[in-house]
Amino acid sequence: MSLARLATGSLVCLSCTACAGWQSALEAHGTPATGLLHLTWLLFVVGALVWICVMAILVLALRSRAAISTQATATPDTRVERRLNRAVTGAVIATALIVMGLTITSFWVARVLSPESSSPLRIRVRGYQWWWQVTYLDARPDRTFITANEIHVPSGRPIVVELSAADVIHSFWVPNLAGKQDLIPGRDNTLQFTAREPGTYRGQCAEFCGLQHAHMAFLVIVDPPEQFEHWREAQLAPGASPGGTQEQQGQRVFQSKACAACHTVQGTSAAATVGPDLTHVGSRRYIAAGLLETTRGSLAAWIADPQTLKPGTNMPMVPLNAEELNAVSAYLVSLK
Amino acid sequence: MNKLRHALMVLLVIGVSACEREHRDLRQDPPVSAALESVATMPNGIAGAPPDVYSALNKPFASNAYSLNQGKQLYSWFNCKGCHADGGGAAGPAFLDGWWRYGPGLVSIFASIRDGRPAGMPAFKDRMTTDQIWELAGYVQTIGAYSGKTAAPSRNDEMQSRPSENRAPATVSVNDP
């Protein structure tokens, strides 16, 4: 008995440890997420209480039925009848009140999902198989820029994410900040959220979208407002010009081989839009939509054989010799 | 009862045997890619023989649905539409009409994309990998093929400007130049 209890206890503890972290709806750090979490707990607690009451009454009823059947009375007792009537009426009223209360509460929470906010930061997120293109919109076109798989937002300011898809249906989900919203080809959606405090949260495609659906993650990095402005200015700058000879050679290889046919590096002749924008790829934490941490080694491994690391990805294996690969990885990691 | 059980088992085996999916080549081995490079075109650049490895691979670029679909994506990514439109032709020649300036063979189409042709067709050999050029050539051939194919790329997301690729044979009009 005590062994079973120990096992159950440790199982509960283990499953609870999985509930926290940078990708968890149970740890809310933003506007709709907090409301949704409160609603979840409310529904859970009310549901649990109702279940306990029903079970208790069921047990009581079964017990008293056993007691009654031993007496075997033929005529119904009017006092018992009246008591039962009162109990059933009370239960019906309680059910109606609880359902109504929960409906009204969930309506209030749903209002928070799309509030009217003044001067929100508008970000356009486009889902591709299997990465995210992120465009920061601005009234001035020269202050618009494109990045990928990493979204920086200022804390405390409302964010409007315009969602669209290029190929199939994807779903944008950052559990710590907001609920899910689908990206549907030809049907643009929006999602609003406000992050309370600085932090790093992980998001993931939440709609099966093909072979590498599991490797379609992104980061939402919430910065203090002034740090966000600093980041934005850095992203607006063209790609860093290569410093050393190896980086220079890497840039030459990048532009003369197939890399530049799909990728953009602002400030150079590489300006294609099939693959992610690499202007500041070295400053991002992950490459290939959360597949590997950005290091020179992982960049080289990725370029050398993308189809083994992420089978089915649209990045082809570009034939490069060892020297070219070395140079290109040095160049890319220098694009801070 | 026993008979019913046997029948069910047979049905299950048949059902499972239908679960095989068409093979997808996500990545050619580097030596295969290198071998796919060496096509032998005729001296005038029209028609020629594919490398031996192409037949050894069972001619995937003309008949594999996944490969055709990759080709279709490449067709729009590398802006073939910019000159050839949706196969109807614009600044570049049409494919739908079945008039192939350099012949309808896959090798000719491969060579056209890789090395370019006079009068405006650019060479893509520095922009695309050999595998990609083969996939794209397979798709382009499908647009103006004379007979329907059993394999097809996926549908267009935008409005259909013509019948789907595997359906209609190219319409050859003898009065056109």
Residues of chain B found within 8 Å of residue A305, distances taken between Cβ atoms: 27
pTM, two decimals, is 0.84
pLDDT tens string A257-271: 889 989 999 999 999
Give the per-residue pLDDT at B99: 86
Instruction: Supply the CATH number for residue A134's domain.
Output: 2.60.40
B27 and chain A in contact, CB less than 8 A: yes
Kindly state whether residue B68 falls inside one of the protein's structural domains: yes
Kindly state whether residue A181 falls inside one of the protein's structural domains: yes
pLDDT at B29 over 90: no
Domain count of chain B? 1
**Is A172 in the same domain as A255?**
no
- In the block, which residue shows the tokens 């007691």? A67
Instruction: Output the tens digit of pLDDT for each of chain A's 336 residues.
Output: 466 776 766 666 566 555 568 999 999 999 889 999 999 999 999 999 999 999 998 998 888 876 666 555 556 678 888 888 998 999 999 999 999 999 999 998 888 777 777 789 999 999 999 999 999 999 899 999 999 999 999 999 999 999 999 989 999 999 999 999 999 998 999 999 999 999 999 999 999 999 999 999 999 999 999 999 999 999 999 999 998 999 999 999 999 988 998 999 999 999 998 999 999 999 999 999 999 999 999 999 999 999 999 999 999 888 889 999 999 999 999 998
Q: A154, A2 in Cβ contact below 8 A?
A: no
Helix, strand and coil percent figures for chain B, each rounded to 5: 40, 5, 55
A205 sits in which H/E element: strand A199-205
Instruction: Supply the CATH number for residue B28's domain.
Output: 1.10.760.10
A186 and chain B in contact, CB less than 8 A: yes
Q: In the predicted model, what is the mean pLDDT of residues B102-116?
A: 92
**Contact criterion met (CB < 8 Å) for A317 and B27:** yes
**Is A154 in the same domain as A262?**
no
Kindly state whether residue B16 falls inside one of the protein's structural domains: no
Residues of chain B found within 8 Å of residue A262, distances taken between Cβ atoms: 77
Kindly state whether residue A264 falls inside one of the protein's structural domains: yes
Q: In the predicted model, what is the mean pLDDT of residues B19-45?
A: 86
Q: A148, A277 in Cβ contact below 8 A?
A: yes
Kindly state whether residue B17 falls inside one of the protein's structural domains: no
Distance CA A81, CA A94 (A): 20
Give the per-residue pLDDT at A117: 76
Last residue of a domain, one of A195, A220, A236: A195
Kindly state whether residue A167 falls inside one of the protein's structural domains: yes
Token representation of residue A163: 């969602």
**Is A103 in the same domain as A185?**
yes
B 78-117: CB under 8 A from A: 78
pLDDT at B177 over 50: no
B137 and chain A in contact, CB less than 8 A: no
Domain residues for A39? 23-63+80-195
Q: Which residues pair with A171 in a beta bridge?
A: A182
Last residue of a domain, one of A169, A195, A221: A195
Kindly state whether residue A13 falls inside one of the protein's structural domains: no
User: What's the longest Cα–Cα distance across chain A?
Assistant: 104
Q: Which residues pair with A170 in a beta bridge?
A: A183
Measured between alpha carbons, how far is residue B175 from residues A27, A164, B84, B98 in Å?
72, 46, 21, 13
Give the per-residue pLDDT at A18: 54
**Contact criterion met (CB < 8 Å) for B27 and A261:** no
Instruction: Supply the CATH number for residue A294's domain.
Output: 2.60.40.420
Kindly state whether residue B9 falls inside one of the protein's structural domains: no
Kindly state whether residue A300 falls inside one of the protein's structural domains: yes
**Is A176 in the same domain as A43?**
yes
B156 and chain A in contact, CB less than 8 A: no
Residues of chain B found within 8 Å of residue A318, distances taken between Cβ atoms: 129
**Is A326 in the same domain as A184?**
no
Nearest chain B Cα distance for residue A184, angstroms: 12
- DSSP per residue over B109-170, as a string? HHHHHHH-BTTTB---TTTS-HHHHHHHHHHHHHHT-SS--S--PPPPSS--SSS-TTTSPP
**Is A186 in the same domain as A298?**
no
Domain residues for B69? 24-175
**Is A185 in the same domain as A263?**
no
Kindly state whether residue B75 falls inside one of the protein's structural domains: yes
Kindly state whether residue B10 falls inside one of the protein's structural domains: no
A185 and chain B in contact, CB less than 8 A: yes
Domain count of chain A? 2
**Is A30 in the same domain as A116?**
yes
Which of A41-55, B99-113, B118-132: highest mean pLDDT?
A41-55
Q: A283, A266 in Cβ contact below 8 A?
A: no
Distance CA A86, CA A93 (A): 11
Give the per-residue pLDDT at B15: 83
Last residue of a domain, one of A172, A195, A218: A195
**Is A55 in the same domain as A154?**
yes
Q: A183, A125 in Cβ contact below 8 A?
A: yes
Measured between alpha carbons, how far is residue A285 from residues A127, A159, A336 in Å?
19, 22, 11
Kindly state whether residue A143 falls inside one of the protein's structural domains: yes
